[in-house]
Amino acid sequence: MATTDRASTRDRLLDAAADLFYREGVSIGVETLCRTAGVSKRSMYQLFESKDDVLAASLERRAPGYAAQLTPAEPDAATPRERILDTFARAERLSAAPEYRGCPFLAALVELKDPGHPASVVARAAKDRLKDAFRDQAELGGARDPELLARQLMLVFDGASARAGAGIETLDGLTTATVTTLLDAAGVAQPVESDRGRTGVA
């Protein structure tokens, strides 16, 4: 029973942390976090050494679900170019939600400003995985410089995320049009119908 209670307390803390940090920023205090989670500070410190570790754990737990939201349901049925464009189309749809505040990992990196912070390490790893995925698809799609294209795609993704999250920009079709131009310039051409679906997922 104690193990179950411990897991439940941890889950409540991480759920509350993910919601609060995303909506309010990383500066929220331990008291607010514990009150929202419905746990005592003593219980929190039995599970985590600090609020920083709670933030890092909440981002780590969020990463797989966030990545899944950006991944095609049937990636094998698409070409590398289509997979890249689909990621941006999905990001555009996510940005239309009223509660959207941008990419949670970018937000953490910008707010914390400390590359050695445990949450920064987790957030950077999540951003690196997305960049690596872009580079892999760029390679499969025949880009002249896959690494450069991946960096350009990350600039578009993060810039669009930040502007949409701040309510400055509406992304509807904007990033996909921009990325289409980048893909064309990089040599990632739309293959003929007979070539579609031949490449696997990276």
Q: Where are the domains of the chain?
A: 2-58, 64-190
Instruction: Give the residue from 62, 84, 94, 115 showing the smallest Cα distance to 161.
Output: 94
Query: Distance (Å, rounded) from C-alpha 117 to C-alpha 178?
Result: 33
> Residue by residue, what is the 3-state secondary structure of 165-189?
HCCCCCCCCHHHHHHHHHHHHHCCC
pLDDT of residue 199: 38
The pLDDT tens digits of the residues spanning 100-136 come to 999 999 999 999 999 999 999 999 999 999 999 999 9
Whether residue 202 is predicted with pLDDT greater than 70 in this model: the reply is no
Query: Distance (Å, rounded) from C-alpha 107 to C-alpha 58?
Result: 14
Give the pLDDT mean for 8-36.
Answer: 94
Classify residue 201 as exposed, middle or buried by CB count within 10 Å of its CB (0-12, 13-18, 19+): middle
Give the pLDDT mean for 174-196.
Answer: 84
Are the C-beta atoms of residues 94 and 170 closer than 8 Å to each other? no
Are the C-beta atoms of residues 25 and 111 closer than 8 Å to each other? yes
**DSSP state letter for 192:** P
What share of the chain has pLDDT > 90, as a percent? 84
Are the C-beta atoms of residues 13 and 39 closer than 8 Å to each other? yes
Instruction: Give the residue from 11, 19, 21 showing the smallest Cα distance to 109.
Output: 21
Give the pLDDT mean for 45-67.
Answer: 96
Classify residue 175 as exposed, middle or buried by CB count within 10 Å of its CB (0-12, 13-18, 19+): buried
Whether residue 201 is predicted with pLDDT greater than 90 in this model: the reply is no
Residue 165: band (very low, low, confident or very high) from pLDDT cuts 50, 70, 90: very high
* Domain over 64-190 is classified CATH 1.10.357.10: yes
The pLDDT tens digits of the residues spanning 58-117 come to 999 999 999 999 987 776 778 999 999 999 999 999 999 999 999 999 999 999 999 999
For 48, other C-beta atoms within 10 Å of its C-beta total: 19
Pick the CATH number of 2-58 from 3.20.20.70, 1.20.210.10, 1.10.10.60, 3.65.10.10: 1.10.10.60
Residue 3: band (very low, low, confident or very high) from pLDDT cuts 50, 70, 90: low
| Mean pLDDT, rounded, of the chain | 90
